[in-house]
Amino acid sequence: MYNKIVILIIILIGFSAFAQVEIPSVNDSSKTQIPEDNTWSLKECLAYAKENSLTVLDAELDESSAQVNYKQSKQQRLPSLTGSLSESFNNGYSIDPITSDYVNQQIYSTSTALSTSVTLYQGSQLNNQIKQNKLLLDQNSLFVQEAKNNITLSITEAYLNALYYKEAILTAQNTLDGSAKEVEVAKARYEAGSIAKKDYSDVLSQQASNKYNLIIAQNNYDSQLLTLKQLLEIDGTMPFEIEEINAEDEINYAVFETEEQIYNNALENLPSIKAQQLDVEISEKDIDIAKGGFLPTLSFSGSLGSGYTSTQDLTFSDQFDLNFNQRVGLSLSIPIFSKGQNKAEVQNAKINVEKSKIALRTVEKELYQKVDNAWRNSVSAQEQLSAAKVARDASYHAYQLAQKQYDVGAINTTDLMLSQNTYTNAQQTYTQAKYLSILYKQLLEFYQGNEINL
């Protein structure tokens, strides 16, 4: 009998260690690797960020915790099993812990027991708790998707900003190259006596200003690359470059869907909305759980036990068989008066349901505002882009003409610099409008549940 009990306890200990939940790790070697040439495409940035972002990892850990709670709640239906073993020594007049006789002598005793209990009925609270924990697990899975969506938007915006700053460097460099040629022309004209020293100095000053603008553009680009690195959770000192895209192809589009269509698609696809909808169901389960407090609880219990005492003239094994005992029992607990606790829990649960519904409406309103802004900005960006393209082309031709006029002395230095600045500003405005147009296009695709793809 003793051997059987020991074997049963060992089996139960092994069972308790079974079916462990896999926990995500920040050092997982199976994650997306860094590109060998350190040149990242937007697709590579998005894949890497989804696997390495601390925000995403934190959401995945919350999901693992919800999975643990869900599994544990299902195991609440199972019987509990507890084993105990005690060794005691008594001296003087006392009760024998095995025979329950009053004796006045030294007693050496050994007691073993195996007990179990199971809840047969508890107002369906166990079942409702399991259902609620399943909803919480589903909600946490949506939170993981939401975290990945958020990092996707952040990476996309940072990547496009980096592309804008990179193109701004090219614009600044071209402007500086143009200034260098103008300095050569101005120097020759100054030495020939065609222009005053002030005009020559103005050209040199403009060249220095353009060189300063190039340095600023480079610093802006480097700063944006650092922002990308931080979003990717990679070392700030690591070599890093971004892959260029064919921006001209990306801007040739029109918004055919209405903002209402995009909003309805977003309601069906965005995990943030689904998670808030689940929050209403989770709160409703709290009502069912609280109502279970008014219902009775039925439990079953049982135990096996045996022991040895030095007061009996029998061997250890003989006493273990002789003192072997069994017990089974049923208990019914009926709540009669809980000082208003159960009623208060039901009322609070109903209040929380209404609050979760309000939160859902708030999230839907915020989403509509985001979609409306993105749709309007997208339409506006396309119009601005068309106007900026016309202004850029016109200022470019005007600047080319001004250079030719300056070469032959038809205009002064001030007019030339004004034309150059006008063209530079128009080029920067066009570049900014171009990448804003791409950003809003991708944002509208995202709201409709489509992948960002550049």
**Angstrom distance (rounded) from CA 371 to CA 149:** 15
Backbone angles phi, psi at 198, to 5 degrees: -60, -40
The pLDDT, as a whole number, for residue 126 is: 92
CB atoms within 10 A of CB 113: 17
Q: Which of 247, 225, 253, 236 lies closest to 155 in space, CA to CA? A: 225
Question: Domains of the chain by range and CATH?
Answer: 123-296+339-447 (1.20.1600.10)
The pLDDT, as a whole number, for residue 280 is: 96
**Angstrom distance (rounded) from CA 346 to CA 123:** 14
Q: What string of pLDDT tens digits covers the 454 residues of the chain? A: 445 444 444 444 444 444 455 566 655 545 677 887 889 999 999 999 999 999 999 999 999 999 999 999 999 999 999 998 888 888 777 777 777 777 777 778 888 899 999 999 988 999 999 999 999 999 999 999 999 999 999 999 999 999 999 999 999 999 999 889 888 888 888 888 888 888 889 889 999 999 999 999 999 999 999 999 999 999 988 999 999 887 666 666 666 678 889 999 999 999 999 999 999 999 999 999 999 999 999 999 999 998 888 777 878 888 888 888 899 999 999 999 988 999 999 999 999 999 999 999 999 999 999 999 999 998 898 889 999 999 999 999 999 999 888 888 888 888 888 999 999 999 999 999 999 989 998 898 888 888 887 7
Q: How are beta strands 39-40 and 241-242 bridged, if at all? A: parallel
Query: Is the pTM above the cut of 0.85?
Result: no
- For the record, the structure tokens of 333 come out as 């607990």
Q: Which of 352, 331, 338 lies closest to 294 in space, CA to CA? A: 338
Q: Which of 209, 106, 193 lies closest to 417 in space, CA to CA? A: 209
**Angstrom distance (rounded) from CA 452 to CA 303:** 62
Beta bridge partners of 94: 103
Which amino acid, residue 397? H
Cα-trace Rg, the chain: 38
The sign of the torsion formed by the CA atoms of 130, 132, 137, 138 equals positive
Mark 209-239 as b/e (b = at least 16 C-beta within 10 Å).
ebbebbeebbebbeebbebbbebbbbeeeee
**Angstrom distance (rounded) from CA 409 to CA 360:** 70
Q: Is 308 exposed, middle or buried (0-12, 13-18, 19+ CB in 10 A)?
A: buried
Q: Which residues, 6 or more positions from 15, have their beta carbon under 8 angstroms from its beta carbon?
A: none
Q: Are 243 and 40 in contact (CB under 8 A)?
A: yes
The pLDDT, as a whole number, for residue 348 is: 96
**Angstrom distance (rounded) from CA 95 to CA 102:** 5
**Angstrom distance (rounded) from CA 390 to CA 398:** 12
Which amino acid, residue 267? L
